[in-house]
Chains A and B, each alone.
Chain A
Amino acid sequence: MDTQDLQVVQQRIQETIEVLNDFNKLGDKERGRSSYVEQLIKDMAIYYGYSEFLLEKLFYLFSVSEVAYKAVEFFESNEISRPITIRTNTLRTRRRDLAQSLINKGTTLEPIGKWTKVGLTVFDSSVPIGATPEYLAGHYMLQSASSFLPVMALAPQENEKILDMAAAPGGKTTYMAALMKNTGLIFANDANKERIKSLVSNIHRLGVKNTVVCNYDGREFPTVMGGFDRVLLDAPCSGTGVISKDPSVKINKTYKDFILLSHLQKELILSAIDSVDAKSSTGGYIVYSTCSVTVDENEDVVNYALKKRPNVKLVQTGLDFGQEGFTKYRGKIFHPSLKLTRRYYPHVHNMDGFFVSKFKKFSNHYTRTNKDDIIVDNDNFEDNSSQNDIHFNDEEDQKYIEASLNKSLKRKGFKIQKDNSKSQESKKQRLKAGVSNN
């Protein structure tokens, strides 16, 4: 596609948006609104280089009235890279000291925003920011602003036992350790053996001493170890929030990928919830986050967890900015408490697209009160509802019970007369009494 064609497409996008904004006046009624939208999605997929499937998925994240403008803003911002941000490692230094020594090395930087006391944005640097002596000495970590959020939501306390289910490369783990002042115990887990290396490296570089690093599939977790005060699940995701960092997402994610990912996320979130001890005096919290903006990987997963685990509820994340999560989306209706979750967009907050939700587990046990409570999802491959109906049919089993009883009597040396049912009956009764006495 040469540039001239692209210009034509861009012009058509502009026109379609204008029509959609004032459809009553400008629109061709016979053609219908939906065909305009279809055209717009097709054009935008060409112009921004997305697969049509993904573009449509992202397009509908924005409410219909303002959809076109917002969507264009969103896609435009995916073309621009976010500013480089770093996090001060408070185990080693203070932000003021770090800023001073980096400025002396010829960088220009300023605090990220009012919401964090440890973040710095680097605008310009004459030295490689990932290889200064301060970096190597562990005074700071290169970390995107959005990845501060789940840790701030988790709010780990000193002397707690915490699990990070998908930890590599360790930006969030080391932030947790810094907030806990190296006390307590953190289990940093990652399923990928190669990424474990960078995780261990970062943990040592930043002087974190309270961490055990392990290499399990996150889904094994309540079996390996449970009873955590808090669990952070920054789930593996499609990365639709970080397209500016990794543009390959635009075309290589298909319908199937989203099904598989959200299935994995649903399994992981249940493991995460089951690993937490609700009786913890300080904690009992789970934070679920992704660097994706699609609803299937976020609200849908959270809603699924609420349905499957009636012993958790959503609580405020403690983050004072960000947009509320969806409570309904394209015909799907979610639990009303989903408005407590937070969404972040590149075009609104100038950080990677992100999603944060925080659960409180208030009981270690739960009962399914009635069957209607459990709505079996189409995405859910296993069928749990039938398990509740299994019980024994004593009448039908009577002959088997008798047969096995006779067998055991024989083994003990009693003679059993088959025909004389009366004496057998009385003998059996006697024996039954004997058994129950034992």
Chain B
Amino acid sequence: MRPLTEDETKVFFEKLTKYIGKNVLHLVDRSDETYYFRLHNEKVYYVSDSMLRQAVSIGRDQLASLGVCFGKFTKSKKFKLHITALDYLAQYAKYKLWIKPNGEGSFLYGNHVLKAHIGRITEDTPEHQGVIIYSMSDIPLGFGVTARSTVEIRKLKPTDIVAFHQADIGEYLREQDTLF
């Protein structure tokens, strides 16, 4: 377990900013307790100060996880956000997309979001913007990247892709062996 290097921090925060914009500051600057991002086994964990102090007594090989996992660095040093970060992403989301009950299943199996499935979307969402995807009852289901801006979406056919799938909560079942 170690703090992120400068390069890693840059890559990591760039990715986070795509989804929650300037709200990244709220993650680092908290009023209740100091929180840190720590790298362990190529995964990035969001850990409180008090937890970090205690967790140092756990050996490196035995430590499996601590706090909340945000994602991992790939072999090519890119950062991949995991579904486990959804809690914080949903809390600070800037652009949101709601899907109708008939589209929930399809998205939870890892498919892209089609126009026919959209219930609502944040006004003036730009193209290629990270969005958090909710069900109509406001349960966060995952996140993705918009394929078109809100204005252009209106012109699309119902079967056209509106947002590209990045991660969904179905992965807790599908990817349990590889993700954790």
Binding site for B on A (CB under 8 A): 101, 130-131, 133-134, 136-139, 161, 185, 196-201, 203-205, 207, 209-216, 224-225
Contact = CB atoms under 8 A, between A and B. Distances in A.
B108 interface: yes
Contacts of B61: 215
Given A131-B173, A201-B179, A137 B141 contact: yes
23 contacts: A133-B139, A136-B172, A138-B169, A185-B51, A197-B176, A197-B180, A198-B176, A198-B180, A200-B180, A201-B172, A201-B176, A204-B172, A205-B169, A210-B51, A211-B66, A212-B55, A212-B65, A212-B67, A215-B62, A215-B63, A216-B62, A224-B58, A225-B57
B32 to A, nearest CB: 10
B64 A213 contact: yes
Interface of B: 50-51, 54-55, 57-59, 61-69, 83-84, 87, 104, 108, 135, 137, 139-141, 169-170, 172-173, 176-177, 179-180
Interface of B is mostly: mixed
A201 B63 CA distance: 15
B66 A212 contact: yes
Contacts of A185: 50-51, 54
A137 B169 contact: yes
B85 to A, nearest CB: 9
B104 A213 contact: no
A204 B57 CA distance: 22
B58 A214 contact: yes
B91 to A, nearest CB: 11
Residue among A161, A205, A211 facing the most chain B CB atoms (10 A cut-off) = A205
Nearest to A93: B139
A412 B159 CA distance: 95
Contacts of A137: 139-141, 169
Contact of A212 (B58, B104, B170): B58
B58 A225 contact: yes
A314 B20 CA distance: 51
